[in-house]
């Protein structure tokens, strides 16, 4: 079994390092960096000893290998701002802290460089399409400078949830040894498990003559996924469906990149470090779905092929995911390739159909999902008519956003049933962002503040009506992600008033001042407005009154299931 890299300092050395770190520069780890740090520190990313330096990074991106030739498919990098990087030089020691300022480790800087992120995206993900969440994160959220170097870990990140399930690689290996588990097949998942998943894992364990480890990701997954709190409660219900002493559940604090074949191989190496001998690799394993043209990012079997190709070198065997279907005549599940569809009735509910039934509060048959699992998911995902919503109006200054938003607010308050809050651009500027200017960075921060407040309103079942200009597509995507992450509904509404009409309506004279050069960076004049490509609703203010447009919004909300007019 591969030896784990141990980056944790002993208590005495950790105390001394913590005291010395008072004089160091501080870097607060981002959510992804926090996940990466934990798996570096606990040995999950063995043989890595820190965030990759440039030589390792270059070869990983190009060849899936470290500079010394060891197999490693995913770049593990510490990205920092340009301002922070300017303070660094080779040998600088930096204290790595969690968002609350608690010191977790120290990095000794070995390399500082600006990567070509387009090349990284193309090589690692096979695309530069921003519809890929890994590419979108890389291009729009990661910082422009990378810092590489060895780390010394003083402590692991603190988790207050499911502590009994958060086993390190060393702890899980020890558990397997105590139980006499010599062959262990891991099941990677970022979704709740239903009956078909249980049946396929039963089958995989029998075929490999191995014990089963359910090893779900509880770090960062695909935007829009079920939160890990709800999923883990579901896994605990499902664990009871397996024979005692045959199956274990442990949580993996991984930040997924949704990198398809490379990610599948990465998952295999991580599971080997956790003591597993086999990994179930699904169809389109770790795939992010469709690209901006509606095509799959990856061939559905590319991940299985890559893990199988490197199985000997990786030291872990690939078990292909077999699609399980419910056969009415058998009153049970069977692999699809063992079913005679001419004589047997196959019953299945697609993921899309399952989400529709949950959204509309419809029945989920017992043969598909365990009642206790479905009940957990209903607690998290109530029917849309009971869900919090964010209505996000966007358009040029003077387009009529505020007028329509006020009309919609009045109609929703007239109906009752949900608390309604209006987050108008001017009002937010006055009360929430009064210190901000109108640079791109400040405008982005203003919109993200609106998004944060809207998400909290939606989390608690209310309606947040937002009416900022919000000119940048990436920022609007971030706000959507914030709301959907807390299981709120998000409805983007483009108020598509032509700039000529906006100028004609301009009561404050802002457009005239912008055209005269008195206002710089004015949206639509010398700063772009990125028109929404796929809003839920587009409103034409030249063809209808605010009352009529507000009614269009109400009808759209009914069509989407967020309100019932009947």
Angle subtended at Cα 202 by Cα 201 and Cα 203, rounded to the nearest 5 degrees = 90
Please tell me the distance from the alpha carbon of residue 438 to that of residue 450, in angstroms, as a whole number. Answer: 15
- % helix, strand, coil for the chain, step of 5: 40, 20, 40
**Residues near 276 by beta carbon (within 8 Å), at least 6 away in sequence:** 184, 185, 186, 213, 215, 316
Q: What's the angle, vertex CA 483, arms to CA 482 and CA 487, rounded to 5?
A: 120
Q: Are strands 93-97 and 332-335 parallel, antiparallel or unpaired?
A: unpaired
| Cα separation, 437 vs 424, whole angstroms | 17
Angle between helices 133-140 and 473-485 (to 10 degrees): 120
Residues with a catalytic annotation lie at: 189-191
**Contacts of residue 30, Cβ cutoff 8 Å, sequence gap at least 6:** 79
H-helix or E-strand spanning residue 401: helix 401-415
Query: Which three-class secondary structure string do you get for 98-166?
Result: CCCCCEEEEEEEEEEECCCHHHHHHHHHCCCCCCCHHHHHHHHCCCCEEEEEEEEECCCCCCCCCHHHC
| Residues 6 or more apart in contact with residue 200 via CB below 8 angstroms | 280, 321, 322, 323, 324
| CA gyration radius, the chain | 26
Who's near 362: CB < 8 A, 6+ residues apart? 356
Looking at the DSSP assignment, which residues form a beta bridge with residue 278? 185, 317
In whole angstroms, what is the distance from residue 291 CA to residue 127 CA?
9
Q: Is 397 helix (H, G, I), strand (E, B) or coil?
A: coil
């Amino acid at each position: 079994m591969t030896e784990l890299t141990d980056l944790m300092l002993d208590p005495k050395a950790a105390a001394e390092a913590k005291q010395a770190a008072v004089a160091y520069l501080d870097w607060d780890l981002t959510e992804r960096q926090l996940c990466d740090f934990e798996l570096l520190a606990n040995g999950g990313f063995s043989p890595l000893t820190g965030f990759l330096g440039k030589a390792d990074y270059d070869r990983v991106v190009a060849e899936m290998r470290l500079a010394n030739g060891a197999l490693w498919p995913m770049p593990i990098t510490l990205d920092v701002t340009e301002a922070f990087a300017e303070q660094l030089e080779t040998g600088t020691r930096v204290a790595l802290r969690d968002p609350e300022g608690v010191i977790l480790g120290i990095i000794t800087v070995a390399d500082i460089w600006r990567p070509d992120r387009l090349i990284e995206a193309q090589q690692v993900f096979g695309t530069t399409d921003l519809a890929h969440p890994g590419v979108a994160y890389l291009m729009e959220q990661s910082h422009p400078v990378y810092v590489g170097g060895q780390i010394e870990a003083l402590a692991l990140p603190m988790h207050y949830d499911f502590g009994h399930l958060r086993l390190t690689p060393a702890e899980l290996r020890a558990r397997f040894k105590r139980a006499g588990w010599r062959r262990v097949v891991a099941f990677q998942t970022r979704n709740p498990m239903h009956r078909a998943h249980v049946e396929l894992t039963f089958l995989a364990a029998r075929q490999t003559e191995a014990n089963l480890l359910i090893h779900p990701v509880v770090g960062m997954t695909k935007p829009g996924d079920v939160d890990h709190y709800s999923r883990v409660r579901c896994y605990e219900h499902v664990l009871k469906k397996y024979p005692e002493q045959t199956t274990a559940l442990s949580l993996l604090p991984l930040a997924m990149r949704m990198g398809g074949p490379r990610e599948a191989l990465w998952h295999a190496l991580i599971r080997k470090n956790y003591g597993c001998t086999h990994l179930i690799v699904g169809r389109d394993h770790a795939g992010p779905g469709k690209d901006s043209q509606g095509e799959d990012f990856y061939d559905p079997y590319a991940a299985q092929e890559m893990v199988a190709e490197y199985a000997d070198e990786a030291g872990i065997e690939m078990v292909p995911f077999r699609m399980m279907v419910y056969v009415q005549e058998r009153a049970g599940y069977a692999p699809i390739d063992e079913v005679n569809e001419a004589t047997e009735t196959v019953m299945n509910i697609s993921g899309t159909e399952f989400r529709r039934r949950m959204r509309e509060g419809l029945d989920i048959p017992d043969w598909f999902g365990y009642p206790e699992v479905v009940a957990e998911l209903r607690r998290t995902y109530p029917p849309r008519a009971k869900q919090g919503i964010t209505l996000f109006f966007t358009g040029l200054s003077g387009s009529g956003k505020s007028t329509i938003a006020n009309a919609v607010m009045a109609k929703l308050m007239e109906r009752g049933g949900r608390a309604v809050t209006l987050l108008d651009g001017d009002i937010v500027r006055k009360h929430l962002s009064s210190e901000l200017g109108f640079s791109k960075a400040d405008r982005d921060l203003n919109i993200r503040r609106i998004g944060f407040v809207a998400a909290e309103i939606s989390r608690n079942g209310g309606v947040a009506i937002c009416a900022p200009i919000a000119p940048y597509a990436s920022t609007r995507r971030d706000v959507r992600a914030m709301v959907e992450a807390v299981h709120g509904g998000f409805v983007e509404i483009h108020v598509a008033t032509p700039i000529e009409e906006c100028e004609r309506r301009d009561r404050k004279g802002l457009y005239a001042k912008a055209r005269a050069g008195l206002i710089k960076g004015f949206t639509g004049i010398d700063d772009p407005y990125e028109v929404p490509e796929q809003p839920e609703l587009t409103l034409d203010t030249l063809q209808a009154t605010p009352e009529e447009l507000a009614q269009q919004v109400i009808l759209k909300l009914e069509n989407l299931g967020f309100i019932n007019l009947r």
